[in-house]
A and B are shown apart, each in its own frame.
Chain A
Amino acid sequence: MKVFIAILLKELLSFVRSFGLVFIVIYFFTAEVFVAATGMEMEAKNVAIGVVDKSAGGISKKILSSLHSPEFQTLKFYTSQKELSDAVYNKEIMVGIIFDEQFEKNYYKKLNPTINILIDSTSASQSLMAIGYIQNILMKFSNLKLPVALKMHKLFNQNSDTTLFMGVSELLSIITLLTTILTAIVFVKEKESGTWDIMLLMPVDPKIVILAKSLSQIIIIMVGTVLSVGLILFHSLNVPINGNLINFFILTFFYVATTAGIGLFIAAISKNVMQISQLSIVIMMPIIFLSGAWTPVYAMHPLLQYLSILSPLRYYIEGSESIFFRGSSFVDLLPYFGGVLILGVFLYWFGFRKIGKLF
């Protein structure tokens, strides 16, 4: 036990002493999360929009006056269709609206007036959403009597605020990335300078050395997570939490230990830092890919759905989202805990065995 604590403290001390590393870890957990959360916007907001209005009437002006912030920027007017499409081609605007001469006349005659819309669909999701907005606005002018009024409830995030979502998911990916790299590097640094073999030959039990070393990195990540959740998520971004924060930290601890296991494995098969950087990308990418971070698991190919059971990140992401947004109770969270725990025990044991072997 004394040895364990000594090694643990030694590792923590050597971390604190390398200012560059401390700075980087703090940067990732604070500034990076903040930048990603506030910078990424997946909703169509502030869309640059251009107009050619040949109808010269009141109706088109009325319609245009409903296209305003936060969804749209101030309208840019063009005199000809050519200018408008040039602007779309050069990506100065994303949506171009054209009212033709007949528009006003047809509108009053109830002859189905037509609006032409050009969209730069290189960013498909936003262009679709922008069209959705315009359609909604036009509906109001169409005096169509719908029999149904939809009462939309966007649960857990009424305003579809991307900041909350991006903040949490960026934190999760940073935890994944840093845990793997930090754990792997602690071991490989010793390998590179040749002290690892000496370590294993010492009268100290190598198991204790490995445990203490990886625990030290887990502690660093956990401290970073607490910092990030407190300072950035809660303080700066005002992310609400509907579930129990303790559950989140327990889940994070299990997950970090699991990822540390992957780090151990990477350290075991790589000889230098360079190889770590390659291997961690090669190994982590599929794990992230299969986790459902970008595509929900149910929308994947059936074969991939089965494979995704093996990605610890899947349980972690779903679990954390449930805690933060859905406010699930502990019982509902049990599958996530179970998934992370089972994979974690296996991965850690595997990495542990690999790194503990001499030569």
Chain B
Amino acid sequence: MRLRVVKAYFIKEMIELIRTKMIMMPYLMPLLIVILFGYGIKMQVTGVRTLILDNDNSQISRKLILKFEHSKYFTTEVKNMSEKEALREIKKANIDALVIIPSSFEKNSLKGVKTEMGVFIDASFPSRATTISNYIQGIILDLANDFHMDSSGVININTRNLFNQALRDEEMIVPGLIGMVLLIAPAILTALLIAKEKEMGTIFNFYSSPVSRGEFLVAKLSAIFFLVSISIFIIFLVASYLFDLPFRGSFFLFWFASELYVFVALGFGLLVSILASSQIVAIIVTLMLTILPAFMYSGMIMPISSMSGEAFIVAHIYPVMYYNHIIYDTFLIGQGFSSSTNILYLLLLFGYGVVLFTLGLLLLKKEIK
């Protein structure tokens, strides 16, 4: 490896990146994704548009309606219309939930007879529907507590929400997003840099010049590595200041794991670019290999521990899970180097990168196919 050659190649790559405005790629895209998704994904359900049909019009039913109105989870409307019309409103997607208070509600509940209350929820978005139904159950329970009821036999539940006490969406989503963008941005950039040379034919300069494969790769990849490394700090600042995430772990661990992860992402891009013949194929294949897995196997939407079967295996094959474990640890949990799992995952990431690079180096041929 001749440092002089690497340096010259590195400078050439940098100039090219700046001139083609591709320098924006490692900065603009990750920021955009983190900011938009960070603000955009709301798992918490608030302001459920609820329509209440009060057929009873009694004290208790009014009390129930008040409970709905005072809850921040519901935006309530009380209307007088037939059940059929109300159901049509759900079909038109104008309301999300419909609560029908039966006419004998007060009479029955004073007598202690059970009343059936009809609740209709639009379950087009299933998890939202489950949450809404839990909320409504909570309100009914609350109402029951207000009235009579001896609550002596009731089992108390003392819940401790670890790591994310306020159940903020940002704390749950943003670390996962970091794992997503630090995979996608370097991978696409790498894949394109080599595929582009292939498509334009400039790859022949490399074939015919005395530059060795190692030098070529080191120069090209270190340019991207350098750019994305700066991006790591920017994203960290956005996460902790814009989204107000707590940072409970060690910053060194965060930085080190991120650099290792970018190294893995470069390996991904390298493999794709060697196999892909054109830029379109390179882009699409990289997106295919990164976006969905980074989303699914990140633990962001679905915890790894509750996966089963193939999903569990695939999640362990992808590097995203290991990095995300560390990222969530540094932001929310804070075990740092004292946890053996973190150290094991760091080693796995390193091993992953080494394997990808060895493969890339073996497959990259200095000849025309």
Contacts and interface: CB of A to CB of B under 8 A. Distances in A.
Contacts of A65: none
Interface string B117-133: 11111111111111101
A115 B109 contact: no
Contact of B154 (A28, A112, A325): A112
A274 interface: yes
Contact of B292 (A35, A181, A328): A35
A70 B47 CA distance: 30
Interface in A90-128: 90-94, 107, 110-128
B368 interface: no
The size class of the interface chain B forms with chain A is: 35 or more
Contacts of A238: none
A199 B132 CA distance: 57
Interface stretch (B4-12, B37-45, B217-225, B226-234): B37-45
B172 A122 contact: yes
A82 interface: no
Select the residue from A118, A152, A321 with max chain B CB neighbours within 10 A. A152
B290 to A, nearest CB: 12
B137 interface: yes
Contact of B339 (A90, A114, A185, A327): A90
Contacts of B47: 298-299
Contacts of A24: 281, 284-285, 288
Nearest to A147: B109
A93 to B, nearest CB: 6
Interface of B: 20-22, 24-25, 28-29, 32-33, 36-37, 39-47, 49, 75, 87, 90-93, 96, 108-109, 112, 114-131, 133-134, 136-137, 140-141, 143-144, 147, 149, 151-165, 167-169, 171-172, 175, 188, 192, 196, 276-281, 283-285, 287-288, 292, 296, 299-308, 311, 325, 328, 332-333, 335, 339, 341
Given A35-B292, A117-B158, 13 more contacts: A20-B277, A94-B306, A116-B160, A129-B130, A138-B155, A144-B153, A148-B116, A148-B117, A150-B140, A162-B126, A162-B127, A281-B29, A294-B41
30 contacts: A20-B277, A47-B305, A89-B333, A89-B335, A91-B328, A112-B156, A113-B155, A114-B157, A122-B332, A123-B172, A123-B300, A124-B44, A129-B130, A142-B153, A144-B149, A146-B144, A147-B109, A147-B112, A147-B144, A148-B140, A150-B119, A150-B137, A151-B118, A151-B119, A155-B121, A157-B129, A165-B125, A275-B21, A289-B37, A294-B40
Interface of A: 20-21, 24, 27-28, 32, 35-36, 39-48, 73, 88-94, 107, 110-129, 131-132, 134-136, 138, 141-158, 160-162, 164-165, 177, 181, 185, 272-275, 277-278, 281-282, 285-286, 289, 294-296, 298-299, 318, 321-322, 324-328, 332
